Amino acid sequence: SSQNLSEEFAEAARQLKKEAPRIQFGKIDVTHHDDLRKEFNIREFPTVKFFVDGSREDPIDCKGVRQASTFITWVKRRTGPSTVLINSTDQAEATIHADDLAVIGFFKELHNDSVEVFCETARDVPEMPFGMTASEDVWANYGIQKNTLVVFKKGKPVHNEALEDGRQNKLDLTRLIKTFTLDLVTEYNLETSVKIFDVPVENHILLFTPTNSETFNAIYENYKSAAVEFRGKIMFVLVDTNETRNGRVFEYFRIKEVDVPAVRILNLTSDAKYKMPADEVTVENLKEFCQSYLNGKAKLHLSSEEIPEDWDKTPVKVLVGKNFNRIVF
Domains within the chain, CATH numbers bracketed: 1-79 (3.40.30.10), 84-178 (3.40.30.10), 183-295 (3.40.30.10)
DSSP state of 146: S
**pLDDT value at residue 126:** 95
Alpha carbon of 140 to those of 81, 117, 136, 229: distances in Å? 25, 24, 6, 27
**pLDDT value at residue 96:** 97
CA 39, 40, 45, 46 torsion-angle sign: negative
The DSSP code sequence of 82-114 is SSEEE-SHHHHHHHHTSSSEEEEEE-SSS-SHH
**pLDDT value at residue 217:** 97
Task: Please state, in angstroms and rounded to a whole number, the distance separating the CA atoms of residues 184 and 32.
Answer: 43
Exposed, middle or buried: residue 27 (CB in 10 Å: 0-12, 13-18, 19+)? Answer: exposed
Task: Please state, in angstroms and rounded to a whole number, the distance separating the CA atoms of residues 238 and 183.
Answer: 11
**Type of residue found at 224:** K
**Bridge partner list, 274:** 265, 300
Tell me: the pLDDT tens digits for 118-143? 999 999 999 999 999 999 999 999 99
**pLDDT value at residue 303:** 58
H-only helix segments in the chain: 2-19, 34-39, 68-79, 89-96, 113-124, 136-141, 170-179, 190-198, 216-229, 247-253, 283-294, 321-328
Task: Please state, in angstroms and rounded to a whole number, the distance separating the CA atoms of residues 207 and 223.
Answer: 8
**pLDDT value at residue 154:** 95
Quote the crossing angle between the two packed helices 113-124 and 170-179, to the nearest 10°. 50
Tell me: the pLDDT tens digits for 226-275? 999 999 999 999 999 999 898 888 888 888 877 889 999 999 988 899 99
Task: Please state, in angstroms and rounded to a whole number, the distance separating the CA atoms of residues 94 and 166.
Answer: 30
**pLDDT value at residue 318:** 74
Flag residues of the chain having pLDDT under 70: 1, 165-168, 302-306, 320-326, 328-329
Q: Which of 312, 185, 295 shows the shortest CA–CA distance to 240? A: 185
